[in-house]
Amino acid sequence: MPKYFDYKRAIKIQRILAEKVFKSLENPPLLDLDNVRYIVGVDAAYSKGLMYGVAVLIDYCSGELIQYSVVKKKPPIPYVPGLLAFREAPAYISAVRKLGILPDIIVVDGHGVSHPRGLGIASHIGLILDVPSIGVAKKKLYGEVREENGGVYLYAHGLRAAKIVSHRGQTLYISMGYKISLDDAWRIIQRMLTPRYKLPVPTALADRISKEIAHRRRGH
């Protein structure tokens, strides 16, 4: 861990920011899907000690890629479970801003409030950019799994924090990030799941592009 990184301070910051996230989820505005135009997906790949954070801009109606941006950074800290945002969020936030278009929704490869302190990377990014955000993770990080009314959910912090689904053999934890209800998060992601990818289109494309860029850099 770098000498300048204060683990305890990072956790304290998460708890403070989580209060704002929980407040945003108390009565989130009902999403009018007819007015959703742009969705951004973010993901990263690594090569030679550098991180390539990618933000892809997707047309919600067609699911087509409009443009993408890349931000190259040296990760400020190693991977620490529960503190992924301090490693990757700065690059993602810069990449989203670099697009020049503020999206209606951000989809993040990671958790939202289904996190030990209620501030997964999806919630962190949504809060900083003040854009509704959704976490789509491949592994459980925190919470209690419950089956209800034919669905499977993850409860955390007294909330139904995530919906658990299987898509092409991949388990996905779809969680509220910031300023969005779980029902709306699921409606958005459901539309973004296609037979072509194991992940929703926004994060699937961000994953693919980031890996392609990192692979090219590896070859240099």
Output the pLDDT for position 220.
55
Pick the closest to residue 51 from 17, 20, 88, 86 (CA basis): 88
Tokens of 103: 């999206």
Kindly report the average pLDDT of the chain as a whole number.
95
pLDDT (tens digit per residue) in 137-184: 999 999 999 999 999 999 999 999 999 999 999 999 999 999 999 999
**Domain annotation covers residue 156:** yes
CB within 8 Å of 63: residues ≥ 6 apart: 191, 192, 194, 201
Tokens of 87: 């490693």
Nearest Cα to 142, choosing from 109, 173, 172, 167?
Answer: 173
Residue 17 maps to a domain: yes
What local confidence, expressed as pLDDT, does residue 167 receive?
A: 98
Whether 2 has a pLDDT exceeding 60, the answer reads no
Provide the number of structural domains found in the chain.
Answer: 1
Q: Is the pLDDT of residue 7 over 90?
A: no
User: Mean per-residue pLDDT for 117-127?
Assistant: 98
* Beta-carbon count within 10 A of 62 CB: 8
Residue 2 domain flag: no
Band of pLDDT at residue 113, cut at 50, 70 and 90? very high
Q: Contact 14/112 with Cβ under 8 angstroms?
A: no
Please report which confidence band the pLDDT of residue 217 belongs to, taking 50, 70 and 90 as the band edges.
confident
Answer yes or no: is 109 within a domain: yes
Note the pLDDT of residue 199.
Answer: 97
**1 pLDDT exceeds 70?**
no
Within-domain flag for 106: yes
pLDDT value at residue 5: 81
* 131 part of a folded domain: yes
Task: Specify if 1 maps to a domain.
Answer: no
pLDDT > 60? residue 89: yes
Q: What is the pLDDT of residue 219?
A: 60
CATH number reported for the structural domain that contains residue 96 in this entry: 3.30.2170.10
- pLDDT at position 203, please? 98
**What pLDDT, on a 0 to 100 scale, did the predictor assign at position 31?**
87
Residue 140 located in a structural domain: yes
Residue 13 lies in domain: 7-218
pLDDT bin (cut points 50, 70, 90) of residue 3 is: low
Assign 58 to helix, strand or coil: strand
